[in-house]
Amino acid sequence: MRPKDIIVVGTRNSQLALTQTSQTITALKSLCPGPEFVVKTISTAGDRVPNNEALADHQGIFVKELQDALLQGSIDIAVHSLKDMPCEIMAGLELGAVSARVTPQDAFLARDNVRFAGLKPNARIGTSSIRRRAQVLLARPDLQVVGLRGNVDTRVRKLQAGEVDAIIIAAAGLTRIGLDNLITELMPFDIMLPAPCQGALGIEIRQGDQQLKEIIAKFDHQPTRLAIMAERAFLSGLGGGCSLPVGAYAEVSGRVLTLRVQVVSPNGDKSLRRTVSGDVNNADDLGQELARELLTSEGEWLQQALGIKA
C-alpha cells in the first residue's frame, strides 16, 4: 500500500479537468499541508467519443475509467465534475468531499454580444446538452439548436469561426479556466434551470479509507453537499441519468433547503416546474419525494416524453 504522504490524483486530460484538479490540489495543500499530490491523467470513454456523436444514454461516460482506477488502487482520489457522476455511486467507492459550488448557471455566449432575447429567428445555437436544447426550444421555438461537442475552448473557437451564432455551456467551466470574460449573459433560472450538481466538484475515494477521508475532510463544503444530495435524489427518483432534460437547483439558508426542479420534453413543447422547501437534514428525502410526486401526477407524460419508467 502506498504511504499517505503521496496521494495520486486521477483526472481526465482536458484543459478544464486539469485546471479544476490543480485548483482542488491547491486548496487541499492549504487545508492539509504535508502530503505530496501527484496527478495521473486517465482517458475516459467520453473523451474518445467523436465530437459529432451524441452522448445521450451514456451514464458515467466521463467517470467510469477513473472509478476503475480507484478500485484497482492505481490512484487514491478522483476529481470529477459532479454533474457527470451517475446517481448511484459505484460499489466500493464513496464521495469523500464536495467543493463549494461556483456559478451554477448556464452561460450564453454570442458573437457581437447579442443577448438571448435579441437573437434573430432561425439563429443557430450550439449545445451538446439535451436539457439545454429542450429549454432553449421551450423559450425560443423560433431558434435552431445544433449539436456541438468538444472541450470548452473547441466550442468557443467554433463560435468565433461563425459555425454557430451562439453557444450555451456551464458558466463554472469558463470561470475555472479564466474565460468568463467571454460570457454575454448568465441564463436566468426562469429560462434555464441548470443540470443537477452543476458548478460543484466531487472527490471520490475508496470506501473505508478513513485516513484519506480525514485528509480531504476540510475541503468538504456542507451546504453544497446538502444541495447536491437533494438534486441527485430527485434525478435518481425519476429513474434517469444526466442525459435527461431535467434541471434541478437547491440552496441552503440556515436550516432550510429549497429545491427547484424543471422537466422539459425534448422538443420543448411542455415543461413542468416545482419548488419545495424542507429541513436540511432531509435533503435526500426532499428530492426523492418530489420525484415521486411528479411520477404520480405526471407519470404517463414523463414515461412517454422522457422514456423513464413511471
- Catalytic positions: 84
SS3 content of the chain, % helix, strand, coil (to 5): 40, 25, 35
Q: What order of strands is seen across the sheet that includes strand 77-81?
A: 36-41, 6-11, 77-81, 201-206, 93-98
Whole-angstrom Cα distance, residue 23 to residue 26?
A: 5
Residue type at position 194: P
Residue 81's alpha-carbon distances to 29, 56, 86, 301, in angstroms, are 20, 17, 11, 30
DSSP 48-109: HS-TTS--TT-TTTTTHHHHHHHHHTS-SEEEEEGGGS-SSPPTTEEEEEEPPP---SEEEE
Q: Can you name the residues that pair with 267 across neighbouring β-strands? A: none
For residue 72 the three cell numbers come to 484497482
Whole-angstrom Cα distance, residue 297 to residue 93?
A: 35
Residue type at position 14: S
Calculate ∠ Cα 288-290-295, nearest 5°. Answer: 95
**CB neighbour burial string for 209-230, b if at least 16 within 10 angstroms, e if fewer:** beebbebbeebbbebbbbbbbb
DSSP 199-267: T-EEEEEETT-HHHHHHHGGG--HHHHHHHHHHHHHHHHHT--TTSSEEEEEEEETTEEEEEEEEE-TT
Residue 94's alpha-carbon distances to 45, 77, 115, in angstroms, are 21, 10, 41
